[in-house]
Amino acid sequence: MLAKPRGYCAGVDRAVETVEKALDLYGAPVYVRKQIVHNKYVVHALEARGAIFVDETQEVPEGSTVVFSAHGVSPLVHQEAASRNLKTIDATCPLVTKVHGEARRFAEEDYQIIFIGHEGHEEVEGTMGEAPGNMILVDGPDHVKDVVIDTDRPIAWLSQTTLSVDETLETVAKLRERFPQLIDPPSDDICYATQNRQQAVKEIAEQCEVMLVVGSANSSNTVRLVDVALEAGSQAAYRVDWAGELDEEWVAGVTTVGLTSGASVPEILVNEVIEWLNARGFNDLEEVTSAEEHLLFALPPELRRDMKAAEEKAKS
């Protein structure tokens, strides 16, 4: 049973295309701060074309071109890039940018902002960097009891876009028990693609003895899909980067396998898993569609501007 939707979301598609177009336009090397998206295959493919991935802006030679990843960066990173005279292309997912804006607006009104997310994740670091003096990180429902705030000031919550929907709602419910005055964000922070992929897994998990999830270990939304599958009734669930990591023991004696992939996973990796399953007798493939996705995001404006200038120069 093949879950749909799966794989690339609009934000990932935009981010990967941003690096590809930058390489075409400016030539190699193009530097990328952090992994453009959390997927080993994608990163290695872009490295082969001339992208150089770095952990920090200081590693980029002065005057070079650097792309900021889909997960977003803090204002401090933009300042660091400007001080090094770097040409920046911001491939932050627009849905993450929306949360950054919500953080700034709440901070301007002196709200204490409880941010639900995973400590150390790049998206969390970038968003919390928008209002570091106002934000308190809560890493799931078990950490709600540790929150210390000033109850005389207003309180709001925001969340990382790639979390488990159910766990986030549980965290918010526990927060509201402690802080009844808690204000909701103006719109849902968890992205449409994360919700859709989790819902697709929920619809097939109970019918599957084993759920296979394709995606990298540092991809938050991928890891959540494994949890969602188990919670929704799958007897077992495994995450793999690619078909070569599959174990025949996982499907021994199994009649029904579920298959999905995280939002940063190209379809070629899913197809390789399908071929692996076909070779082991799983030839009856049923694709189960729980939602249709048609959203597209335009490339970053600074890149579109340079592409247009290059086109006009070529015509003249």
pLDDT tens track for 268-311: 999 999 999 999 999 999 999 999 999 999 999 999 999 999 99
135 pLDDT exceeds 90? yes
Confidence class for position 187, pLDDT limits 50, 70, 90: confident
Q: Record the pTM.
A: 0.94
Radius of gyration of the chain (CA): 21
Q: What is the pLDDT of residue 214?
A: 98
23 pLDDT exceeds 90? yes
Segment 114-122 shows an average pLDDT of: 96
Confidence class for position 16, pLDDT limits 50, 70, 90: very high
151 pLDDT exceeds 90? no
Tell me how far apart the alpha carbons of residues 264 and 269 are, in angstroms, rounded to a whole number.
Answer: 11
Tell me how far apart the alpha carbons of residues 298 and 18 are, in angstroms, rounded to a whole number.
Answer: 10
124 pLDDT exceeds 90? yes
Among residues 17, 47, 80, 123, the one annotated as catalytic is 123
- Amino acid (1-letter code) at residue 11: G
Confidence class for position 44, pLDDT limits 50, 70, 90: very high
Burial class (CB in 10 A: 0-12, 13-18, 19+), 254: middle
Segment 242-257 shows an average pLDDT of: 97
Confidence class for position 255, pLDDT limits 50, 70, 90: very high
Tell me how far apart the alpha carbons of residues 42 and 30 are, in angstroms, rounded to a whole number.
Answer: 15
188 pLDDT exceeds 90? no
Catalytic site residue 123? Answer: yes
Neighbouring CB atoms inside 10 A of 121's CB total 18
316 pLDDT exceeds 90? no
